[in-house]
Amino acid sequence: VLNFVRVAVQARKVNLLSVNEDEGKNQVFNLPLDTLLKEVTVSVSGENPEIILKDPEGKTKVLGNKFTELLNLSNVRIVNIKEPTPGNWRLRVSSSGTHSIRVTGLSSADFVAGFSKYPTRDFSKTSLRPIQGIATNILVNSTGLEEPSILNELELVDLKGKTLVKFPLTQDPDIQTLYNVSSFVPPDKYFYIKVTGTDDAGYVLQRTTPTAISPLKAKSPKVVMQATTHAFYDSTVTLVCQVHSYVPYRVQWSYNGKQQGYDLFYEDPTNVTLEIPNASSLVEGEYHCNVSNSAGYHSASTYLDVSDPPPAIVTPENVTVMPGEIAILSCIVISTVPYNLTWRHGSHFGQLSLDPRIRIYNNDSMIIYNVDRHDEGTYSCTAQNEGGSSTETLVVRLKVKPVAQIFPREQTFVAGSSKNFTCIAGGYPEPTFLWQQDNEIMPSGGRVHIEGGYLVLKNLKPSDEGEYECVASNSAGSHSVKTRLIYIEAPHVREIDKKLLVAVGDDARLSCVADGIPPPNTTWYRSDIMLQPAYNVEVTRSGQLVIADVVDSDAGTYRCVVQNEAGSDSAELTLEVGSPPEITLPPENTGIDIESNGSLLCQAIGRPTPKLSWRRKDGRPIDFNGRFKQTQPGLLEITSKL
């Protein structure tokens, strides 16, 4: 079962040869077999059938493993070849009476063919049989063929296997599986279609249709017209006659037994028309569409009924009123004959004239007094006469004062930037917008672009700061709303001490003065760690960092960061922690002989290293440019001579 399924999937039955003989004969056929054939079956039905097969090497096949006899009766014989050798085989068949020969195979390569009046690539537009006597095209679709396999010839073969006509097959340039045969007139008798080509190994590939094909005989035309055609006075009327015929046909129009116009000739089904200008009662009556082709004749008729046209209504204008006002609805009707007019409000039924607030006048207008919201909606006026009716609609709307909204309500900006505002408003009629600054209307142009409720300000300056007002207006009133534009400027550190020395135990005050709009917030960092308020650390409102009771570990680099919504700036400050100087070796009283040299020594400690200087206790100046010199820190030398 599995093997059967596998074979059925990979291959299918194809037809290689079909011959019908009405007398006994002994015949020899060339039988080309290709590499795509999995097996071949030969059957002969008739009296005393005989089958002899010779392979491409000329050897007569005898019954064996791959050559089996499926049936052998006095009037039927069937043989089968498995995996036949590709090439040109010879088939000898004989029968003593009327007989038929069929050669089939199992293969994935096959074809289907369709007939069409015009060249096509679409098989849905083809038919299985051509029309007798009408030129036709053939569309062939090959299956199971892969390049370089190709089909190159098509034959029409009669029931006895004789060639009636041959055509070259033209391969479609875009769809490789499609082939075409140009227009020809098909034979009037039964025939098979045989295609020939080569497989991918270069062997001849040949297939035929499974059944014989006969052309369809042409039928008399089918003609359809509507029973009555309605028209209006002075209009142009078009009568339509639907004709279905697959062979050429002739059309004649007639009225009151007289032909209208000339004979018309067509080749395909179509709608044939007759135009009658300036319709009137003189052209009313029965019109006939008479159609004939080579197979017969058919006729259809329509009655032309001419009447006055329906009324025409001038498109009315919509009505907009304030609540409590009067609404006047107009409906202007043009009609050549009397007409009736009816007003309707939306889907409401009943007569509007029953409402005491509504009056309908002879001029077809309708007035609604003291209009309220229930009167809003669509109104239709319908005019009707013997020719038909016409309807037009209009809309009644109450005026509504606009209520404006603006987005955003406030914005900040930096110099050179652009900002936009959007103003929206409801209300009816649809409101218009204008923009104001300081109660003056803003024109569009330059740095200002205005489009309805949309405002764009470009290349802003500090002077552009202020309030902007959007005013929405319609015939019911106006409403305004304001927004504010606020100028901001990125901060800049203006003043900071680059270095600060503080003694251990004292308080360190680190200042960072910055400009900015709005005033910036100040944050202090040490080694990229933000300083938070603690028992000895405080950041004042002015941004000053205060470190109480400084110790040696507080020394280092501090960074102040100033920031507002426009930007930020930063600067660094170095804090040094030291100790006050202390004299460890005070000068001693020293005696120096007159005209002798001497010195005084004083030593001190402190951080940073203290600077030592000398002065006289009596306040008199020391002449360091004369006999007194400080040669090293703390050492005062006195010489006797200059």
464 and 317, same domain (yes or no): no
- State residue 616's pLDDT score: 83
And the tokens for 408? Answer: 């955003």
pLDDT score recorded for residue 642: 56
Q: Which residues of 198-234 are buried (b: 16+ CB within 10 A; e: fewer)?
A: bbbeebbbbbbbeebbebeebebbebebeeebebbee
What single string gives the DSSP state of each residue in 180-204? EEEEEPPPSS-BEEEEEEE-TTS-E
Query: Are 629 and 536 members of one domain?
Result: no
Handedness of CA 65, 83, 49, 75 (dihedral sign): positive
Residues 357 and 393 in one domain: yes
**CATH code of residue 179:** 2.60.120.380
| Residue 575 belongs to some domain of the structure | yes
Strand order in the sheet with 466-474: 410-413, 477-487, 466-474, 432-437, 440-441
Residue 213 domain-assigned (yes or no)? no
pLDDT at 255: 96
Instruction: Report if residue 214 sits inside a domain.
Output: no
Residue ending a domain, among 458, 482, 506, is: 482
Structural domain contains residue 600 = yes
**Per-residue confidence (pLDDT) for residue 286, from 0 to 100:** 96
Bridge partner residues of 222 (DSSP)? 244
One domain, residues 499 and 467: no
The reply to whether 431 and 412 lie within a common domain is: yes
DSSP bridge partners of 138: 115, 181
Mark whether 496 and 392 lie in a shared domain.
no
- Spacing of C-alpha 310 from chain mean position: 45
* Residue-range definition of the domain harbouring residue 595: 586-638
Please classify residue 348 by burial: count the beta carbons closer than 10 Å to its beta carbon, then call 0-12 exposed, 13-18 middle and 19+ buried: exposed
- Whole-angstrom CA distances from 178 to 206, 268, 632 are 16, 25, 114
The sign of the CA dihedral 178, 184, 190, 195 is negative
Q: Which residues of the chain have pLDDT under 70?
A: 1-11, 349-350, 641-642
CATH number for the domain harbouring residue 461: 2.60.40.10
Identity of the amino acid at 503: A
Q: Looking at the structure, tell me whether residues 418 and 443 fall in a common domain.
A: yes
Length of the chain equals: 642
Exposure letters 354-388 (e unless 16+ CB within 10 A, then b): eeeebebeeebbbebeebeeebbeebbbbbbbebe
Same domain, 628 and 521: no
Do residues 262 and 382 share a domain?
A: no
Closest by CA position to 277, among listed 300, 290, 261: 261
Which tokens go with 418? Answer: 């652009």
Give the alpha-carbon dihedral of 238, 241, 242, 247, to 10 degrees. -130
Task: Name residues whose C-beta falls within 8 Å of residue 320's C-beta, 6 or more positions apart in sequence.
Answer: 396, 397, 398, 399, 428, 429, 475
For 210-254, how does the pLDDT look when each residue is reduced to its tens digit (9 = 90+)? 999 999 998 999 999 999 999 988 899 999 999 999 899 999 999
Among 274, 307, 340, identify where a domain stops. Answer: 307
Q: Cβ distance 109 to 144 under 8 Å?
A: yes
- Pair type for strands 332-334 and 296-307: unpaired
Amino acid type, 148: P
Total tally of structural domains belonging to the chain:
6
Strand partners of residue 510: 545
Angle (CA) 319 324 325, round 5°: 45
Residue 101 belongs to some domain of the structure: yes
Report whether the peptide linkage leading into residue 429 is cis, meaning its omega lies within 30 degrees of zero: yes
Task: Report the C-alpha gap between 582 and 601 in whole angstroms.
Answer: 15
Is residue 255 classed exposed, middle or buried when 0-12, 13-18 and 19+ CB atoms within 10 A define those classes? middle
pLDDT for res 4 = 46
In this structure, are residues 149 and 158 in contact, taking their beta carbons and an 8 Å threshold?
Answer: no
Do 177 and 252 lie in one domain? The reply is: no
Residues 387 and 445 in one domain: no
Residue ending a domain, choose from 482, 501, 528: 482
Instruction: List, as own/partner pairs, every contact residues 162-170 make where C-beta atoms lie below 8 angstroms and the sequence separation is at least 24, other chains included.
Output: 164/191, 167/138, 169/140, 169/195, 169/197
Whether residue 217 lies inside any domain: the answer is no
Report helix, strand or coil for 439: coil
Are residue 254 and residue 198 in the same domain, yes or no? no
Query: 466 near 485, Cβ under 8 Å?
Result: yes
Q: 518 lies in a domain?
A: yes
| Assigned domain for 449 exists | yes
